[in-house]
Amino acid sequence: MITGDPAVVFQQSRLLTEQEVREQLLVTALPARQPIVDAVKRSFDYIDRRFRGNGQEIYDCQQEYVLFGLVRMFDPQRATECDLISADNLDLLALAVPNPSLVALIPQMKEEVAAYIAVANGVRMPTEDIAAYTEKILQFWSGREDKLPAFAHAARIVFALTPNSAGCERVFSLLATLFPFERTSSMSDLIEGTLMMRYNKRDAPI
């Protein structure tokens, strides 16, 4: 086995083809690469802690990780490939999304599991283009409201979830712009009304 020592690699490589050298060269063992390897490892360790619930609670993403793993069942292609459509996963979804409307749909969704699996088998989605992919997913569910009413209704709830904090960050930015330090004594109804108008009618003057 070739080591990461360049001198040894050079000596041994004269007996091997280029492809054989590339397969056996331990790049991560090269001293010059060690700082990079250490930095990358720390990054992956940090991510691993956040998604496995081993980090600080305020930064923990385990619940979100589980949630967005489960909602893949509303992509018919991914759901059948990963065997996500099941009564057990529906129970987990109800725990991950404590939405009363969604929880109320779970019993009926369990009755539709077999029908959904039958419909989803063989479905293919164009994942290369996000716009086309989104359109196909929406078309799939809008065309299945008669055969899978509970799943179709749940899909609308799930698709309203956002995987990022861009929405609330935008609100904070608007608040900072509309109400700087000089306006901190403004009444709450003025702040609420102004923010609602600016957020919902962004082109309208304040």
Residue 206 has what pLDDT? 45
Distance, in Å, from the CA atom of 14 to the CA atom of 19, rounded to the nearest integer, reads 12
Under 8 Å between Cβ of 206 and 194: yes
pLDDT exceeds 80 at position 25: no
First vs last C-alpha separation in the chain: 71
pLDDT digits (tens, 9 = 90+) for 95-104: 888 889 999 9
Residue 7 has what pLDDT? 56
CB atoms within 10 A of CB 191: 15
pLDDT exceeds 60 at position 44: yes
Three-class secondary structure of residue 68 per DSSP: helix
Distance, in Å, from the CA atom of 71 to the CA atom of 101, rounded to the nearest integer, reads 16
Q: pLDDT averaged over the chain?
A: 82
Distances (CA, A) of 74 to 61, 79, 82, 185: 21, 7, 12, 47
What is residue 174's DSSP assignment?
Answer: H
Predicted TM-score (pTM) of this structure? 0.59
pLDDT exceeds 70 at position 10: no
For residues 157-175, average pLDDT: 81
pLDDT digits (tens, 9 = 90+) for 60-78: 777 888 888 888 999 999 8
* Range of weakest confidence among 40-44, 51-55, 104-108, 169-173: 51-55
Residue 2 has what pLDDT? 45
Residue 30 has what pLDDT? 77
Q: Percent of the chain having pLDDT more than 70?
A: 84
pLDDT exceeds 80 at position 149: yes
